[in-house]
Structure 1
């Protein structure tokens, strides 16, 4: 899914759609799409037995290394107060594989 595909589907130019999208969501299209994919990936990882690589593919991310790095950053960045130091180190080991 790309900005061009979505903007074409709704009948706007990419530039105009991008401007409207940012105004409404306070994020650019790629940031929003990545957040949606990461949120879905978290659910799949929590509720299924899928591998991280298969989860990445199922949410539309084909670059496993990028996905792993993005997911790791999302988990650590959004909930640092709930993680103690040992859990942060453990998470870093898992995502660096």
Structure 2
């Protein structure tokens, strides 16, 4: 019961962060601002959803969910690197 409540709370938090990041991507005026919204908010949202999945699978199966942990490590390593590279490419193309 307590685990279900924790998983539900993490899913709601993750979904809220993902929604805010998506709205920011659509509504912010500048390219660099639009880049910031999904890399921060959506990464946190997906991270919370993956943590909820790890807790749920670990409680259900009685083992550590290794695949979900690998996904979260991959996500948290690649998302900032890709955002940095995209920002550098956009900055080099920018004409002031």
Tell me the TM-score range normalised by the shorter chain. 0.3 to 0.5
Q: Work out which structure has the larger RCO, using CA pairs closer than 8 Å and 6 or more positions apart in sequence.
A: 2
Structure with higher helix content: 2
